[in-house]
Amino acid sequence: MPSIPKQIIIRGGAQLQGSVHAPPSKSHTHRALIAASLSAEKSKITNPSLSEDAAATIGAITAYGAKVGLQDGSFIVVGVDHIETPADVVSCGESASTARFVTPILAHAEGISVVTGGASLRERPMQPLLDAMRQLGVTCHSARNDGHIPLILFGRTYKGGKAKIAGDVSSQFISGLLFSAPLGPHPTLIEVNTSLESKPYARMTIEVLRCHGIEVDANADLTRFTINGTQTARAHDHVIEGDYSSAAFMFAAAAVTGSKIRVSGLKTSGSIQGDSEVLSILGDMGIDVQTGRESVRVQPRRLQATEIDATDHPDLVLPLAVMACHAQGTTKITNAERLRVKESDRLAALSSELGKMGAKIRETEDGLEITGVPFLKGARVNSHGDHRIAMACAVAALAAKGTTTLDGAPCVAKSYPRFFEDLKSLGGDISGRK
């Protein structure tokens, strides 16, 4: 993994050109690792994400007995036939996906497990998951009794039955329950008592589980799931797709600098990722999008404002917001309130940092309103310790007049370790300061 300076200096006005390879999908990698860990046979995961979040998931599944090796760039996973009690606390770093997927699984260990993580993760909500697990018989507690990690789990208390859970906080809670339910002694019924947001991520979980022979019965709108207990996962070899949520920042970089670039390694037909919807949104904003079998070329025209419903695509809000700063008219982003409980309050952070650069941006209750301006200006901005805020600020800086200093740059390693290297390879004027 490349070493990333604490401070990045970006000189605006560069014209980009060339091609980059999309990093592997972090979301797909998480799910492949978890599902493979539940099979006692050997599975191979080709083209995995090597991000910090993926490393956190590897640490968590090895804590309950799975074995993971790296061979010729692929993960070789030998899972478990029973969940072992971790010998130490399970640290999930800053990965909410890891914490929310692994916590329900640890309810099947024999002893007591403790799940913890970094400072940012300790502020992420976990209460809906704890409440649902308790409905399924699990004895579990928030150590500080505040609905956040550290969490304490008493093993072998999962009984199954029926659980109701809200779907408008995080679909990761649903995915965690889907990973855990097949290990239970009895069937599990999960009812989502609000509309489920980020549905594509739940669909990804179901598809990955089915690859391992685990059956999940779900209704069309993903508000009711039935999973039989005592299911045995089989081995399956995965090829991880290129990540659309990361590639979207490269598309945005091309858009705001008026550049033509190519991003390879993307599945352009039948992708498992809901964020592939970015290609359609790019078209709505005036980008000429050309898809090949495994690549996307983008060539900007005049950017146009649009309306963006972030219900199923919250991670796309950040690169699209940067594009909106340069678009003719006012872009309205709605149904994005979940961005307030990510690594940062992303709506507030975007408004603050892009505002420093001269963006005309206003927070609403559930999103943003952004009116395009003739240009942004260089400024000193801060990542708020959030990888997607850091990437959004860097993309905005590429087209700004003057020089931008980005503090807190290393957080991009959470999802896209080569982000700054890729921008430089396209012609970005980027340097670092330790």
C-alpha distances in Å from residue 187, one per residue of 86, 160, 234, 248, 251: 26, 6, 19, 40, 44
Virtual torsion, Cα 288, 239, 387, 420, nearest 10 deg: -70
Angle at CA 243, nearest 5°, toward 296 and 24?
Answer: 115
- The helix or strand, by DSSP H or E, that contains position 116, with its residue range, turns out to be strand 112-116
CA distance 227 to 184: 9
Phi, psi of 361 (to 5 degrees): -135, 135
Taking the CA of residue 104 as centre, how many other CA atoms within 13 Å lie in the half-sphere pointing to its CB? 34
The two tokens of residue 340 are: 């307030």
Name the packing angle between helices 96-106 and 171-180 (round to 10°).
30
The DSSP symbol for 428 reads -
The DSSP symbol for 84 reads P
Q: Which residues pair with 27 in a beta bridge?
A: none
Active site residue 146: no
Question: What is the separation of C-alpha 286 from the centre of its chain, rounded to a whole number of angstroms?
Answer: 26
Q: Are 129 and 155 in contact (CB under 8 A)?
A: no
Q: What is the 3-state secondary structure (H, E, C) of 205-238?
A: HHHHHHHCCCCCEECCCCCEEEECCCCCCCCCCE
Burial class of residue 434, CB neighbours in 10 A (0-12, 13-18, 19+): exposed
Q: Positive or negative CA dihedral for 17, 21, 26, 31?
A: positive
C-alpha distances in Å from residue 248, one per residue of 88, 221, 276, 283, 427: 38, 27, 9, 13, 17
Q: What residue type is assigned to position 354 of the chain?
A: L
Q: Are 194 and 166 in contact (CB under 8 A)?
A: yes
User: Which one from 312, 315, 386, 422 is the annotated catalytic residue?
Assistant: 315
The DSSP symbol for 4 reads -
* Cβ-Cβ contacts under 8 Å for 219 (sequence gap 6 or more): none
The two tokens of residue 383 are: 């990542």
> What is the Cα gyration radius of the chain?
21
The DSSP symbol for 196 reads P
What is the set of active-site residues?
315
